Copies of this chain bind each other. A is one copy, B any other.
Amino acid sequence: MLKYQQIANDIEKYIEDHALQQGTKLPVLETLIAQFQVSKSTITKALDLLERKGVIFQVRGSGIFVRRHKRKGYISLLSNQGFARDLEEFDLTSEIIELEVKKPTEEVALNLNMDLEEDVYYVKRVRFMNGKTLCLEESFYNKSLIPYLNHEIVKDSIFNYISDALGLKVGFSDIYLHVGTLTEEEAGFLQLKTGAPKLYVESIFHLTNGQPFDFSKVSYNYEQSQFFIQANGQLF
């Protein structure tokens, strides 16, 4: 972890530990520089990270302020690390339905920017939160980037394995959301009724070098899942 990331973590932890409310003013830049004994650019990078994460907001000429705490139990749609981190207070488990190496379909090859003759790891899992079904997930990993997966890895967090064991850095992702109804097969896995509403999410995850490594299709149990986004301004 880089220095500015460590400082960002420290500041975030301070806000959480003291349950600071939205609008609470944080110390000015100069105070933070003196307190952490680092350069202005390091503090600036830490603050920008916290702003992107939705922890603080900065008002030019006025100061640095705490943002509202997100509601509990919501899954972040902006996390690029899988949702294990958002739901730390819950018991997350997985049941593996399928794990095999196969050739990509045209749709998968297109989304992973690979050839039809190359291999993908295909993973199909039902994920559970506190013993109740959370979602049905089908993921396709480009095997030339993720050369090895087994049941033990797939039962746990694949993203942790990718970053910790393979040393790969997860970068940006494209996420597409649709609302629809559950097919009979999906309903069976999710223990819901056929035709019940679902949130269906397709994601393409890239490494920091821009290579797409995971194309996933997830159908969520609508009774168990709720989502949040903390959006920053300044996009236009």
A residues lining the B interface (CB < 8 Å): 22-23, 49, 52-54, 57, 59, 62, 65, 67-68, 70-71, 74, 77-81, 85, 113, 169-181, 197-199, 204, 206, 208-210, 220, 222, 225-236
* Nearest chain B CB to A157 CB, angstrom units: 13
**Residues B176 and A228 in contact, CB atoms below 8 Å apart:** yes
Copies in the complex: 2
**Residues B177 and A226 in contact, CB atoms below 8 Å apart:** yes
Evaluate whether A197 and B177 lie within 8 angstroms (CB atoms) in the complex, with A62-B209, A170-B233, A233-B80 already known.
Answer: no
* Nearest chain B CB to A163 CB, angstrom units: 9
**Residues B52 and A177 in contact, CB atoms below 8 Å apart:** no
Q: How far is the CA of A113 from the CA of B68 in the complex (A)?
A: 11
* Nearest chain B CB to A117 CB, angstrom units: 20
- Which residues from B are CB-within-8-Å of A49? 234-235
Contact of A113 among B22, B78, B171, B180 (CB under 8 A): B22
Evaluate whether A175 and B228 lie within 8 angstroms (CB atoms) in the complex, with A199-B199, A210-B59 already known.
Answer: yes
Contact of A79 among B22, B74, B235 (CB under 8 A): B235
**Residues A209 and B59 in contact, CB atoms below 8 Å apart:** yes
**Residues B199 and A71 in contact, CB atoms below 8 Å apart:** no
Most buried by B among A62, A220, A233: A233
Closest B residue by C-beta to A67: B172
Closest B residue by C-beta to A177: B227
- Which residues from B are CB-within-8-Å of A65? 210
Given contacts A52-B52, A52-B235, 18 further A-B contacts (CB under 8 A): A22-B113, A22-B210, A49-B235, A53-B235, A54-B174, A57-B171, A65-B210, A74-B176, A170-B233, A171-B234, A174-B228, A175-B231, A179-B222, A180-B197, A180-B222, A199-B199, A206-B233, A229-B229
